[in-house]
A and B are shown apart, each in its own frame.
Chain A
């Protein structure tokens, strides 16, 4: 099939294997002499390990612990604070202390129950509130401050008509990728091979080289078909890879580590809970004079990726608005809870929920329609970013908003719902909107300084072309979209392009599969590689071309000062959501969902629609359904139904629209799409619930419990 328009959808590369169930995920792999691993996890939240007593191990069973790690006993992420096996201090309940390995899982679990550990318990920090109160003693993994001078802010506040002070909180979000985490370590004479469910092959590989203290060519990582990631398989798999690799090296047999759902929900990374404190000074007319925000992320027990998540949270703390005299400060704080990590949006969903909520509340104070109010502050092309970068490309927000106001018949609907709500006692309807953006790719100069992506295209003697990149298809369609780009550039049928699941022995490091960077950054490199290959094309000859990342000219990013262009390009979006709230139960029914997006250019319309629908549903559920809590360091919701991600019955059709706005730095003008659609779901649903009930909310998820409590409070106030 020759592609005419790149956006025209094609059958996905791996469709047949997936739909028939025959494409093997890691848990489907069977090997002779396969051993299983089970992890002994810390039963206490914070303490010093005094002793570990094992029951007698039957023949063929082994304990694998810190003593077996030839290299560093930490998982290489950003800081050296995440032990592979915690053998001295434990920092959260569920932290792996050692692994038992053997042929029968039944016996392994029985052995695990007989283990006795003695841990000297220390006072743990369980909540973000405690961490904020004790932040100077407890641990700050990262902090940044930027923007207007505080002296200036103070003097503006002094002369302001009023200063709005608001706090806002966001909760955990669990990925619930359908395939639980799984990793297999295979011992070979000259290498340790690790296969599994993952997003970032070279993160895993680098972690292995550090743990095994070996040469680059002594470890090899292959991605298995991966049953969903959403960030949950960005940083976490590195730890499991170290576990199975160390074990395989010791026992000289393949070792498989598979989590079951409860274990996956209790011990793997989640979206950071966050707290925001806003101070906004208004004049008499309700115009913003200045705004300052302090934000706190609950990082859990290890730094992990939290410092980078904090950056993105801060960079989005003013939303899509040009706020006069803006100041921001943020902290990633330590608690003795399960470490939080990457999750689609990476700090941005928290910040957008907070700023959209805050702007909505200010507009109410100013007695103005929130959409109209927000539009006054909307950034335009040429405006500076909050870090004094520049929005250099066209910003289509205004067009998108005008369009959706027309499509939804916004003004009429508002009036209709007001009169419906007056008549209806039990059910109340409302409509809400959210406006948002997503900076594509790594923050600042990350692509140039840290990632340095390289891609390869290999042509065989039969003139077939193979894509060699380290980016992982985790369902988002990388196998298909990358193949389409290469096929189009080479004028070859899409079927002639092969793209096997990546293997570090074969593919160069084209960077991790994160940050909505694959299509825009890696896709662009492939486009260039394909161009080059086309120029050199010699039929019947094996050829290979390589392309390296070239940094686009922008205002240089300074991480210390938090200034400059944080991203080369931005994708934009808006949502309108309509809800009906049952005032007797606080249950919310989402009735209509609209989304308009500027992602540059769609590489495959169907794939993009899939990203929009899936991301938006996750984002909406983050706003009112999905509730995860931690009590004394333990995650309380250990099953899917207790956590409550949406079923097909909780969802309605989504009316989405794309606004073409090609970006020169992306292939065919494409920007990132992975994370953007999640970001606007929660704030729009909160705004809709607020509109229905005429009550302000200050945290997400806006659960039925929170709604009922707020309705009771409102009824109480009405009585007073």
Chain B
């Protein structure tokens, strides 16, 4: 009986890391909070990995947060706790991050990891979808940008080549002023929980009319879902929205969302609650500051 151990790398720089990725198909580990659970063995037995490991959570190049014009750039290996403390991170994203697991996980888990783990219940994902977040990937051949909705393909499936690494998440044209956001995570308890359904929405108003509307739902399908065709139908509408418009939008989502039954909840519940939260947001007569975490 042979115990095989895989080789592992921990380079001092991103350059060296990328160079290694161009030579060998590796398993990248950032915070490891998801990957260590997925690869865990029964008690007393080390985690099992098929590919060589590359540790990246210490790379300073991946921990920067900065603004470029209106775009906010977030290094892939920023931990949730680091994001919570950073002034450039939008408030509503902090609301979502604050609801991820518990402090110990937030001290270790990273935004890049949450994206690459590509769970339909990933807590930051609905907001990243409505931000039209762009994912920056780098390899020895260069860099490319990809929209988050194209990057995430399904549960645990992302569009990344073996030689690429996710370096940055870019939130383009972040305009907190004048835009109203909502994020609701629905779970079986108030901490250390996986979302049964989550909802993110934003409405941007100008002189009593909606000029931009975005809605995303988590845990109702294989990926977070957004339907831009429906969103477009309320652009130009007067705010507060007319009940007929609200009914139409909700009915639109009703036709498109198809959640499943599993050990955490039921399809009926997920759909009903998703539509309830959407309707509640659309029915708002006015927006005020502050957010209640449910």
Contacts and interface: CB of A to CB of B under 8 A. Distances in A.
Any A–B CB pair closer than 8 Å = yes
Interface of A: 36, 38, 58, 105-107, 109-110, 258-260, 263, 426, 582, 584-587, 625, 627, 629, 636-637, 640-642, 644-650, 704-705, 708-709, 712
Nearest to A648: B191
Interface string B179-197: 0000010101111111010
5 contacts: A105-B42, A426-B280, A585-B186, A629-B263, A636-B263
A433 to B, nearest CB: 24
Nearest to A706: B269
Interface string B48-64: 00000000000000000
Contacts of B184: 585
Contact of B45 (A105, A259, A263): A105
A36 B44 contact: yes
Contacts of A105: 42-45
A644 to B, nearest CB: 4
Given A106-B3, A587-B186, 4 more contacts: A58-B1, A585-B276, A585-B294, A646-B189
B265 interface: yes
Nearest to B264: A642
B7 to A, nearest CB: 18
B268 interface: yes
Contacts of A587: 186, 294
A589 B184 CA distance: 15
A647 B190 contact: yes
B238 interface: no
B18 to A, nearest CB: 33
Contact of A582 (B190, B265, B294): B294
B42 A708 contact: no
A585 B193 CA distance: 15
Q: What interface size band does chain B fall in?
A: 20 to 34
A109 B189 CA distance: 34
A584 B44 contact: no
Nearest to A582: B294
B159 to A, nearest CB: 29
A594 B27 CA distance: 52
B45 A106 contact: yes
Given A584-B280, A585-B294, A629-B263, A704 B189 contact: no
B189 A625 contact: yes
Given A585-B277, A641-B192, A644-B193, A704 B46 contact: no
Interface string B193-206: 11010000000000
Contact of B269 (A38, A106, A259, A704): A704
Q: Is the interface of A mostly helix, strand, loop or mixed?
A: mixed
Contacts of B273: 584-586, 704, 708
A58 B189 CA distance: 46
Interface string B274-294: 001100100000000000001
A640 B43 CA distance: 15
A205 to B, nearest CB: 27
Interface of B: 1, 3, 41-46, 102, 184, 186, 188-194, 196, 263-266, 268-269, 272-273, 276-277, 280, 294
B255 to A, nearest CB: 18
A642 B186 contact: no
A708 B280 CA distance: 15
Q: Which of A36, A107, A585 has the most CB of B within 10 A?
A: A585
Contacts of A704: 186, 188, 196, 269, 273
Nearest to A264: B43
Contact of A644 (B188, B269, B294): B188
Contact of B42 (A109, A637, A646): A109
Contact of B1 (A110, A426, A645): A110
A627 B272 contact: no
A640 B41 CA distance: 17
A705 B269 contact: yes
A107 B45 CA distance: 9
A81 B31 CA distance: 48
B183 to A, nearest CB: 13
Nearest to A426: B280
A312 B190 CA distance: 34
A647 B102 contact: yes
Nearest to B265: A705
A423 to B, nearest CB: 15
A655 B42 CA distance: 42
Nearest to A704: B269
Contacts of A645: 189
Contacts of B42: 38, 105, 109, 260, 263
Contacts of A259: 43
A641 B190 contact: no
A566 B244 CA distance: 64
Nearest to B293: A649
A570 B142 CA distance: 76
B287 to A, nearest CB: 15
B61 to A, nearest CB: 33
Contacts of A426: 280
A636 B268 CA distance: 19
Contacts of B193: 641, 644
A263 B45 CA distance: 15
A58 B186 CA distance: 50
A239 B191 CA distance: 35
Contact of A258 (B44, B196, B280): B44
A106 B263 contact: no
B189 A712 contact: no
Given A110-B1, A650-B189, A712 B272 contact: yes
Contact of B192 (A110, A636, A647): A647
Contacts of A709: 268-269
A412 B14 CA distance: 65
A637 B43 contact: no
Nearest to A112: B42
A109 B41 contact: yes
A644 B189 contact: yes
Given A636-B263, A704-B269, A712-B272, A650 B190 contact: yes
Given A648-B191, A712-B272, A258 B263 contact: no
A497 B43 CA distance: 38
Contacts of A584: 273, 276-277, 280
Contacts of A708: 268-269, 272-273
Contacts of A644: 188-189, 193
A650 B189 CA distance: 7
Q: Which 10 A-B pairs have the closest CB atoms?
A: A260-B43, A644-B188, A649-B190, A636-B263, A105-B44, A584-B276, A647-B191, A705-B269, A106-B45, A649-B191
Nearest to B263: A636
A688 to B, nearest CB: 18
Given A105-B45, A109-B42, A109-B45, A641 B269 contact: no
Contacts of A110: 1
A13 B277 CA distance: 52
Nearest to A258: B43
A260 B43 CA distance: 6
Contacts of B3: 106
A585 B273 CA distance: 5
A254 B196 CA distance: 45
A260 B42 CA distance: 7
B44 A107 contact: no
Nearest to A621: B189
Nearest to B276: A584
A585 B198 CA distance: 11
A183 to B, nearest CB: 14
B190 A642 contact: no
Instruction: Point out which of B43, B190, B192, B264 has the most chain A C-beta atoms below 10 A from its C-beta.
Output: B43
